[in-house]
Amino acid sequence: MRLTSETGVVCLHTHSRLTLSERGRKRKTARMKRFPILALLLWVATMFYVGIFLFVGGFLLVRLEVSRSSSCGDLLTLGDKGGPDFCQGEPRFQRAVILIIDALKIDFARFDAQNTAPKPFENKLPVLEEVMSSQPTHSRLFSFRADPPTTTMQRIKGFTTGSLPTFIDVGNNFASSAILEDNLVHQLGQAGKRVVFMGDDTWESLFPKKFHRSLPFPSFNVKDLHTVDDGILQNLYPTMEGSDWDVLIAHFLGVDHCGHRFGPDHPAMADKLSQMDGVIRSVIGRLENDTLLVVMGDHGMTDTGDHGGESLKETDAALFLYSPAEIFPPPGAEVEPEVVPQTDLVPTLALLLGIPIPYSSIGQVLLPLFPRDTQTAGALDYLTQAEALWINSKQVNRFLETYSQMAKDIPPESLSLLRADFSRLSSEYHKAAQKGLPPPPALVAALQGYLTAVRDTCRASWARFHPLKMVAGMVVLATACVLCLAVSELPAVLVEGGSLRVPLAVGAGLAGVVAALQLLNGGYTDVSWCLGAFALSSQLLFLWKLWCTRGSGGKGKAGRRSLLPQLTVPLLVLLLRCASLLSDSYVVAEGRVATFLLCSLGIYVPFCLNWDGLLLPVNHDPSKPPGVHPSPTLSPSTVRRESLTLLVCLGVLVGSLYLSLSFHGCREEQGACSPSAFLAPLSRVQDSRLRNLHYILSVASLAAWTYTLRRWLRHYGNLNCAGPAVFTARWLLPVASVCLALHWAVSSTPEESFRSLSELIGLALVALPRAAYSLLGLGVALIWLDPLTVFLKPRQPHQSRGSVLPPRYRASTGISPQAELHHLIPQLYQRMRRSLEDGEQAGAAEEDGRPAVEAYGLGTVYSAPLVLQWGLLGLGLLMLHSEGMALSFLLLLLEAAALLHLHSSSTSLALLQGAHTGGFSVPWTPVLLWALAATQFFHATGHLPTFPSIQWGAAFVGFPKGHTGTLLPASLVTLNTFSAHILFAVGCPLLLFWPLVCEVRGGRRGRGLVAGEGEEGEDAVMEMRLREKPQQFSCALLQLASRYLFIHGAQVLASVFAAAILRRHLMVWKVFAPKLMFEASGFVVTSVFVLVGMAMVMRVDMAVGNWFKRLLPEQSR
Amino acid sequence: MREHEIKGMVSAHTIIASSIFIATVMPLFFVEHFSVYGTHLTWLYSVSGSVAVVNIIIFWLLGISPPTKKHTLGYKVSRAVRSCLYFVLSCLFFHLVVVLTVHPCSIRCLCVLGPNVQTWIRVFSRDGAMSVWDTSLQITTASSVIGAWLGAFPIPLDWDRPWQVWPISCSLGATFGFLTGLIIAPAWIHWHRKQLTYKSK
């Protein structure tokens, strides 16, 4: 054995050494259940996944974006002779004025002369009625039906691209909201039209640099009714009177904001609508003959003034078309549509203005605006109805072909039907064209039918919530939460006899039945329903079994326990946290809310202990109520020290919470807020002195992180052996941190200062992070390979013969007995020995048998690899963040340590004073603190639950030139986003180990007493206690994991409810839907890493088992 | 005896509660532009001051104060100094940690318990109350703290009210909690007078 000087020092000061009896022969029969626990947890997590999948499948509609654009030279169908399709006719209009009045509901625009007592929103736009009655061939009012989601941004996308935007348009660049799909504004620009925009600044972010001239006004403040409108009015008329425009878009927000603020039934709405009436009048008065006026609302509003959903009140807006020239047939001459879908505006405007229809449009031209045949069109070569429809159909067909090659979400049978339809129509049209006859009206109707069918097919797959799926998802999620609670309440039942096989088999069978039924009925299977059936049936069966067997877990009167826990303060806090997810203000302020709740719950701990009289040593007065035995070995100073530790930890916790607030980012909803200065990468800091200061701070925190971890391991004697895990701790961890520090240094150097070294810098930018990645990966692999950090030392003879009584503990140095108490060595592993030895031999062992070996680091054999892995992971995640976040990560370490110590000292206080908490089980409070800390550090590492705040830079750490695939950058960004979730999930089992690790410092005797052993001076055996009672260990582990999963799962459930209930809320696509996405992904990441942490514990347990097996034959005589 | 005590407590609490109202109303006549939101600190000082004075007078009159063993001048001075110190410390504690100023509570604690940390800690445990006044202290303090805690809740909401600012809503919550506690305490004690048993010191 190699004993370096370092180890020697450790020998003197290591306080965690276990000695084993040489006489061990028998092994305990009970073993820890490893596989069943992991399988159960995996199954529970899968249930959550299924619930999330079902709900998201019904709530978030996904559509692929086609990135192609139309152009004038396009030939829409192959082999179709006759020149380019778009731009073939003379454009009907040279110019257009588009007035968008946000939330102009159709009810606002209609005029009813008989109505003598109009409400504030009725009969306020008389200009429309006046124009329509005086010039019936110049104007029309239609009901303009929007597709859900009826929010402004989605609507603008809808009526410029002609498609049905969903919440997630895949292919969309999340970092900016610019529209990349082909759209009207783009086509107008291509055709050389000068587009002038004024109004809602959403347009500016959707179409950056696309306008000839743009006058955006801030749209964010919903309470501000006038800024945008007044801004437009100042510029609208001068612009119109000038000649520097072809298409003028003005987007008024006043009506919408008035609805949000006061509702439609309010005098302010009357004022606003009257103002709009005046605007329309003035604009009509300034129009010229070649100009088309479009007045439209982008969506409607409910009676309370909200929108976002799919009710008719929200979807039905007004569309008013007017031109000084005649464009419409006289009323009654033709059948005209009553309701115009919003997408139809796009092809209509495009063909009227003589530009190509945007590629992805699925709209249908508005026929009344086109002449029926060439006779009525006069001398000019305008497009007729049939021609316009034919071009429109070809364009839609082309889009459908392209889309169906990219995505498979349109059902194949309807696709083939549509294809057949189109080819039939195409041949009919060609036949008619060859004869030189105008196409028959039946063909026009058939083309219209085809376009409608395409739109309906697309809408069915893109733009409709599936309420049934949403409900099913919520039910599965809620049942999964109940399941988690039941598991955490009754782990013993599960560990003893719980079997997953029957529920799984029944679930799989039912899923098969559902699939077969679907196949028989519709000819295809929907995976989500099969999964839903599987999840729900297996869950219910499992709960039913648990309900039936709950009595068998405990014996006697306490046997029948309830499946659900009682409402206590931590659960109340969790309830508050979940309730806060239902309010947009609290979601916006989530970082502070989590900090506040965490702080409250932390402060609650000592208050609760004090209320139970456990914080201070009890005075031994006779009036003490009987029943609680004051422990004879209880020393007030121990209690006081523990209390002091507890309060210091609380101080550290509160301090780090307070400091962590300075690392938050800012949402756009938070007006007066500036993001933390540490969020920006160092290379962007201009002042060199400040940059150096930041760098030094970051490197210092990095060093502190590494040093703390190593110090901890050394303190508990885990750095003595020569195993791979120790190699990792000794070498890989520091080397990786050095790599990281160098990488920061290189990446933050300003490029211009070392121009000559640019190649070297480029190389370092690639090599250093990759080296760190591989070192950390190697470290984790080594830990998994051999997680043991135990060093065995053969016992030196006659070492402890000095004292009269055979000592139970032994200090390494000759310090005072009082100090020994605090720094004692957990030496003689009594319990284990007793279980190892036969009864008769035990007596002999007491007399002459000496413990044969001393094992350094056995007391922390479980937590050491976990802590090490935690540290390695933390370094890796830190690398993905900007340099300044090192401080935040150090705070995270501090806070995690404070939480662990808070938990351990409150446990030992409870134990010291005789309040038995039962087994190793971790109560709700620390678990909730731990879970809240994950949410809090999600925010304190600069993350926010919004898509623009994702730190894309993480994908380029070590890959400055970008990636070829998408998997690697996606996983890097995921790791970066959920780093707090990952760290706290992996560290979750530490909550179980920490009270045992810290037990040495005072809980020794008390615990022995509580454990029911009359023997005084029970040796501290730290985590070996867990091996003693594998059953309890398994229970506690299962309970801990299920509690942690429950807390996160309940938050997912709450945000799912928020999204479902508030799907018509103004903020649903800005706040609730992103929050749901982040919460759900956070849960997935958390559950995966909880399983990783648990698997690590199982791996260690296996290794320890093997180690004992190896050791005992060696040592036995 | 118990009935007598409860009656005394009701009247004492009524006086304290009315002193809060008076302290809110009186500055209107003396301070220009006085309002609870606008000049929040002034209001807070006025309320705390009046409650402190009223408390001290009441408890001195009722003779509910910790038993004193020695009556030398030096002891009294040191007691006074320690009282002030603890008062300032408790204000700091509440200000920093519970993000509020429960001055009325701490002055009450001082009056009833005296400057002894052990007693303070002892009172706030389950079996720690040794008299009706201790129980009332437990209730009023707990309701103040809970009130202040609940007072933090409306801060993030977007109602744009002037009181939705950090110290104001918390101290308003604490004041309302304190007032509620003043009402609840005698009622609760009256309700549970049979169950309540107090040990002698």
- Which of B96, B121, B141 is best to mutate for the A interface (most A CBs within 10 A)? B121
Decide if B4 touches A, using CB distance below 8 A: no
**B158–A contact, CB cutoff 8 A:** yes
Q: Left (φ > 0), alpha (ψ -120 to 50) or beta: where does B95 sit?
A: alpha
**Beta-bridge mates of residue A677:** none
Q: Which B residues, 69 through 108, put their C-beta within 8 Å of a C-beta on chain A? A: 97-98
CB of B118 less than 8 A from some CB of A? yes
Residues of A in contact with B160 (CB under 8 A): 223
Cβ of B197 under 8 Å from any chain A Cβ?
A: no
In the numeric block, the tokens 């370096």 are attached to A4
3-state SS assignment for residue A143 = strand
Beta strands in A771-865 (DSSP E): 791-794, 853-856
Q: Is A998 left (phi over 0), alpha (psi -120 to 50) or beta?
A: alpha
- Predicted local confidence at residue A638, as pLDDT: 79
User: How far is A617 from chain B, CA to nearest CA, in Å?
Assistant: 11
Residue of B95, B97, B130 to mutate, interface with A, max A Cβ within 10 Å: B97
The answer to whether B117 contacts chain A (CB < 8 Å) is no
**Long-range pairs of A519-528 with CB within 8 A, sequence gap ≥ 24:** A523/A413, A524/A411, A528/A53, A528/A54, A528/A57, A528/A469
**pLDDT higher at B51 or A139:** A139
Shortest CA distance to A276 belongs to which of A95, A109, A106, A107? A109
User: Could you tell me if A603 lies within 8 Å of chain B, comparing CB atoms?
Assistant: yes
Q: With left for phi above 0 and alpha for psi between -120 and 50, is residue A556 left, alpha or beta?
A: left
DSSP per residue, A641-685: HHHHHHHHHHHHHHHHHHHHGGG----TT-SS----GGGS-GGG-
Q: Is A647 on the interface with B (CB under 8 A)?
A: no
Q: Which among A592, A600, A616 has CB closest to B149?
A: A600
Residue A584: its chain B contacts at CB < 8 A?
158
**Interface contact B127, partner A, CB < 8 A:** yes
Taking CA atoms, what residue in A is nearest to B157? A585
Q: Say whether residue A593 is in contact with chain B using an 8 A CB cutoff.
A: yes
- Tokens describing residue A1042: 């299920």
State which residue of chain A sits closest to B199, comparing Cα positions: A623
Is the distance from CB of A109 to CB of A256 less than 8 angstroms?
Answer: no
| A612 contacts B126? CB cut-off 8 A | yes
**Per-residue model confidence (pLDDT) at position A497:** 64
User: CA-CA-CA-CA torsion for A598, A599, A605, A607, nearest 10 degrees?
Assistant: -150
Asked if A810 reaches chain B (Cβ–Cβ under 8 Å), the answer is no
DSSP A383: P
How far does Cα A919 stand from its chain's mean position? Answer: 35
> What pLDDT does A59 receive?
85
Angstroms from A608 CA to nearest CA on chain B: 8
Contact yes or no for A610 and B158 at CB 8 A: no
The residues that bridge with A105 in the sheet, in sequence order, are A317
**Measured between alpha carbons, how far is residue A806 from residues A17, A710, A801, A971 in Å?**
17, 34, 7, 58
Distance from CA of B98 to the nearest CA of A (A): 8
Q: What span, in angstroms and rounded, lies between the C-alpha atoms of A523 and A147? A: 29
Contact at CB, B125 and A623, closer than 8 angstroms: no
Q: Does A583 touch chain B (CB under 8 A)?
A: yes
Quick one: which of A832, A147, A235 has its CA closest to A458?
A: A147
* Per-residue exposure over B2-30, b if at least 16 CB sit within 10 Å of its own CB, e if not: eeebbebbbebbeebbebbeebbeebeee
Please give, rounded to a whole number of angstroms, the shortest distance from the CA of B125 to a CA of chain A: 4
Which residues in chain A are closer than 8 Å to B122, comparing Cβ atoms?
616
Long-range contacts of B3-12 (CB under 8 A, 24+ apart): B3/B193, B5/B132, B6/B132, B6/B186, B6/B189, B6/B190, B6/B193, B8/B62, B9/B132, B9/B133, B9/B136, B9/B185, B9/B186, B9/B189, B10/B186, B12/B58, B12/B62
B164 vs A624 pLDDT, higher one: B164
* Alpha helix (H) residue ranges in A106-151: 106-109, 126-134
Q: In what order do the strands lie in the sheet with A853-856?
A: A17-20, A853-856, A791-794
Q: pLDDT, tens digit, for every residue of B102-126?
A: 455 566 666 666 666 677 777 777 7
Within 13 Å of residue A296, how many CA atoms lie on the same side as its CB? 29
Strand, helix or coil for residue A252 = strand
**Which residues are registered as beta bridge partners of A279?**
none
A947–chain B nearest CA distance, Å: 22
* CA pair distance A15, A240, nearest whole angstrom: 86
Does A616 reach chain B within 8 Å, measured CB to CB? yes
Radius of gyration of chain B (CA): 17
Burial of A680 (0-12, 13-18, 19+ CB in 10 A): middle
Interchain CB distance below 8 Å, A607 and B124: yes
Cβ–Cβ of B127/A616 closer than 8 Å?
no
Which of A583, A610, A623 is facing B125, going by the closest CB pair? A610
For residue A474, CA distances in Å to A50, A754, B92, B107 come to 10, 58, 47, 51
SS (H, E, C) A256-325: HHHHHHHCCCCHHHHHHHHHHHHHHHHHHHCCCCCEEEEEECCCCCCCCCCCCCCCHHHHEEEEEEECCC
Ranges in chain A, pLDDT < 70: 1-31, 76-84, 89, 167-176, 220, 374-381, 463-464, 497-498, 522-524, 550-564, 618-635, 751-753, 793-854, 914-918, 999-1021, 1064, 1113-1117
Q: Under a CB-based contact definition with an 8 Å cutoff, are residues A326 and A138 in contact?
A: yes
- List the single residue in A583, A600, A613 with the smallest CB-CB distance to B127: A613
Supply the pLDDT for residue A1017. Answer: 38
- The domains located in chain A, with CATH, are 99-249+258-289+298-321+338-357 (3.40.720.10)
Domain boundaries of chain B, sorted by first residue: 2-191
Q: Exposed/middle/buried for A285, CB within 10 Å: 0-12, 13-18, 19+?
A: exposed
For residue A234, the one-letter residue type is: Q
Q: Tokens 């080819």 identify what position?
A: A423
Q: Residue written as tokens 């429109």?
A: A392
Q: CB–CB of A615 and B121 under 8 A?
A: yes
How far is A786 from A1100, CA to CA, in rounded Å? 8
Residue B149 to residue A612, Cβ atoms within 8 A: no
Rounded Cα distance, A506 and A512, in Å = 10
Contact B148, B173 (CB under 8 A): yes
Number of H helices and E strands in chain B, helices first, is: 8, 0
Query: With a CB-CB cutoff of 8 Å, which residues 298-337 of chain A face chain B?
Result: none
Cα A80 off chain centre by: 49
Cis peptide before A165 (omega within 30 of 0): no
Per-residue model confidence as pLDDT tens digits over A700-753: 999 999 999 998 888 887 887 778 888 888 889 999 999 999 999 888 877 666
Query: B52 pLDDT exceeds 90?
Result: no
Cβ atoms A851, A827 nearer than 8 A: yes
The complex scores an ipTM of: 0.84
